[in-house]
Structure formats: structure tokens, C-alpha cells
Structure 1
Amino acid sequence: MRLIGAAWIMGGDFSIMDYFIWNEIPTALGNLVGGLAFTGLTRYSTHYKTAPKRKLAASGKQAIA
């Protein structure tokens, strides 16, 4: 964020839309995909089979750990 302001002060020729299209959107999508793939899927694959099984209560509405 500091580099964008510094670039504008130094005469950079780009707009706010250029900033969002070429910086913010790819960064947000990369963080989303990377977070899901490297954190979410890794955690799921390592803990799925080792998690304790849940049993439903008699009413069928509450799960007991």
C-alpha cells in the first residue's frame, strides 16, 4: 500500500482501477486459493480419519462429541 502512494507521488501513470485489476484482485484470489489448498485441504486430509466419531442424540437434533 505504501508503494502505490509513493509511485503516484513520483509520477506513476496508473489509476485506481489499474491498481485493483493488476494488484488487489490477483492478490485476493491467490490468498484464497493458497489458503484453501495449503491450509484447508492439508488440515482436512490429516485430521479427517483421526477425528472422533460423532453420535447423534436420541432426538436426532444435537451431536454429542
Structure 2
Amino acid sequence: HFYKNYDTFHFYKNYDTFYFYKNYDTFYFYRNYDTFYFYINYNTFHYYKKNYDTFHFYKDYVTFH
């Protein structure tokens, strides 16, 4: 579970694909070596890296921890 302000984000892992969803919106993740990518609605790309046990989500200049 990830929390941003009062919104709750959930994610789960299926093999090497990460599914990240909020309410009825689904964000899909995939892993390429040590870099993690996720895309929204098949067209908007962002990415995040894993820093130790913390995942940092980058969208525009807003960071989700």
C-alpha cells in the first residue's frame, strides 16, 4: 500500500509484472534488469527505481513514496 495525501494506492506483483492500481484505474509495471518502468493507459510512460527497500514513483515532478 502506498499513501499519497489521503489517497490510497495498492500494488501487487505477478511474476515480473507489477500491477499498481488506485480505485478503478490500473497502472502496469514491468521490469527491465534493474530499472522498473510503468505505463498508464498504454501511452504515458514514467519510471521508478528501487532504492534499497523504498520505491520512488515519479510522475512529472511529483514524487510518490
- TM-score, normalised on structure 1? 0.20
Relative CO higher for 1 or 2, CA cutoff 8 Å, sep ≥ 6?
Answer: 2
Higher percent of residues as strand: 2
Bigger Cα Rg:
1
